[in-house]
Amino acid sequence: MTYHESVLLRESIEYLGIIPGGIYVDATFGGGGHSRLILEKLGGKGRLFAFDQDEDAKRNTEQPEFSANPCFTFIHANFRHLKRHLRAEAVRPGTVNGILADLGVSSFQFDTPERGFSYRFEAELDMRMNKQEGQTAADILNGYEADALQRVFSELGEVRNSKTLAQAVVRARAQKPFRTTGDLADLCNKNLMGEKMRYLSQVFQALRMEVNDELGALEDILKDAYEMLAPGGRLAVITFHSLEDRMVKHFLKTGNVAGDQQKDFYGNIERPFELITKKPIEPSEEEISRNPRARSSKLRVGEKRDSTN
């Protein structure tokens, strides 16, 4: 089984505009597809720091093209602490030439039954990308109040009957706590609204995003990325969810994920990035037919402006 088929691979690396000898970050190493191409473009000079919080992804760095490459450094950590980890590697803020984040989970994570990401396999409801820390999907289903569960289902999953489902979770767990993907899939089946597969995907995705605080981590990396980039450095983000895409779009335009326009001392609107992609780049029909998981992906790229101009 291939670990992961990289999405928008050629496009994202092209837009990063790799300078041989530059300093780059791949925030989401996964199967290393994007990292491999960045290293190729670096041509034996410069540095690539790759992050992944998943133990399984770390094993992919054992391939000689990574382990034997002096330009490559793997950081087994959550990318939300980007600045802290880069500083520990003696990389100063304002010096990085490009940062790529390809969000979400890899196919390997998704297709490994015991990780509990998918309703297709019977497994413990875990869903943590980092199995060493944080609460599992079962902890959330068994512990959150009904209104908090409703928020998760409606905001992160766009589940239309989020209130009904949240109340059903609370009633069901009073009889028997949630333990497996099957427990949750059964409850979904009893409360279906719309097409079955779509409903299950929405509920499972919402929980996964909550378990891993994916929106919180995205907000943190965007802020750190801005600080770490050199003027002229590029930030490229591939998203798979409309909320994530909106956050990235706002951040590139305004410097914050809410999209609030900030003014400087003279009343000029601050524009922290030059938009390299005016509209998001989406996968070609050919890519979608080869890799259906690319379907909802969107790439946005910004170039950090020189604040002294």
Ligand X SMILES: C[S@@+](CC[C@H](N)C(=O)[O-])C[C@H]1O[C@@H](n2cnc3c(N)ncnc32)[C@H](O)[C@@H]1O
Residues that bind ligand X (CB under 6 A): 4, 6, 28, 30-34, 51-54, 57, 78-80, 102, 104-106, 129, 217
- Closest contact distance (angstroms) between CB of 220 and ligand X is 8
Assigned token pair, 44 = 């034996």
Which residue has the closest beta carbon to ligand X? 30
Q: Distance between CA atoms of 221 and 77, rounded to whole angstroms?
A: 12
Q: How far is the CB of 127 from ligand X (least distance, A)?
A: 12
Please, which residue, 77 or 170, has the CB nearer to ligand X?
A: 77
User: Judged by CB, which is closer to ligand X: 149, or 217?
Assistant: 217
Largest separation between any pair of C-alpha atoms in the chain: 64
Of 105 and 140, which has the nearer Cβ to ligand X?
Answer: 105
CA distance 7 to 9: 5
Nearer to ligand X, 97 or 106 (CB): 106
- Taking the complex as a whole, how short is the minimal distance between the CB of residue 53 and ligand X, in angstroms? 4
Least distance (Å) between residue 202 CB and ligand X? 19
Measured CA to CA, the distance from residue 36 to residue 33 in angstroms comes to 5
178/300 with CB nearer ligand X: 300
The C-alpha atoms of residue 60 and residue 76 are separated, in whole angstroms, by 12
**Pick from 241, 273, 240, 250: nearest CA to 98:** 273
**Which lies closer to ligand X via its Cβ, residue 102 or residue 183?**
102
CA distance 167 to 144: 11
Closest contact distance (angstroms) between CB of 129 and ligand X is 4
Q: How remote is the C-alpha of 239 from its chain's centroid?
A: 7
**135, HSE (Cβ side, Cα atoms, 13 Å):** 13
* Alpha-carbon dihedral sign for residues 57, 62, 63, 66: positive
d(CA 159, CA 168): 14
Smallest distance from ligand X to CB 293, Å: 9
User: Shortest gap between Cβ of 207 and ligand X (angstroms)?
Assistant: 15
DSSP state of 5: P
- The Cα–Cα gap between 176 and 174 comes to 6
Nearer to ligand X, 42 or 169 (CB): 42
Nearer to ligand X by C-beta: 217 or 235? 217
CA-CA distance, 51 to 70, in Å (whole number)? 16
Minimum distance of ligand X from residue 101's CB (angstroms): 8
Q: How many other CB atoms sit within 10 Å of the CB of residue 307?
A: 10
Q: How many CB atoms lie within 10 A of CB 232?
A: 14
